Amino acid sequence: MQLKTTSTYVFWGKRMLLIKRSPQDKNLPCYWEAPAGHVDCVCPYGDSITARQEALRELREETGIILKPCALRFLPAESSNTHSAFIVHLRSPFKPKVRLSFEHTNALWVHPKLARRFKLLRPEVRKFIEDKLDDQ
């Protein structure tokens, strides 16, 4: 199998980054999501340097946040044969600045307990939040 999509759950302290899709988007317009997108190269599924680079490319394109591949932690429970998910905990004492792409209209740093109340939250993000809260 080959990787088709990737996502990165970004945390700063106890808050996670959610970005809101544009109303013009054909795929779940106005939904809140984690930075994610399509893989632009041939990439094996699972955790690989290529998968990490693609996740970081999407993160940079959608939010302006630049990180190194070693900052990511692979999330096997949130991944599949065609999708690789990662998590990163930013250590800055200052709230990271987010620079949105044209694909998104808003960004929030929100506690997962509050985020799960959002009506327009991508299903895979809702599942991640529920799984994360169950672990705590």
pLDDT string in tens for the chain (136-residue length)? 789 999 999 999 999 999 999 999 998 999 999 999 999 888 888 898 999 999 999 999 999 999 999 999 999 999 999 999 999 999 999 999 999 999 999 999 999 999 999 999 999 999 999 988 766 5
**Quick one: DSSP state of residue 64?**
-
CB 87 within 8 A of CB 72: yes
Do the beta carbons of residue 32 and residue 115 sit within 8 Å? Answer: yes
Q: What is the CATH number that goes with domain 5-135?
A: 3.90.79.10
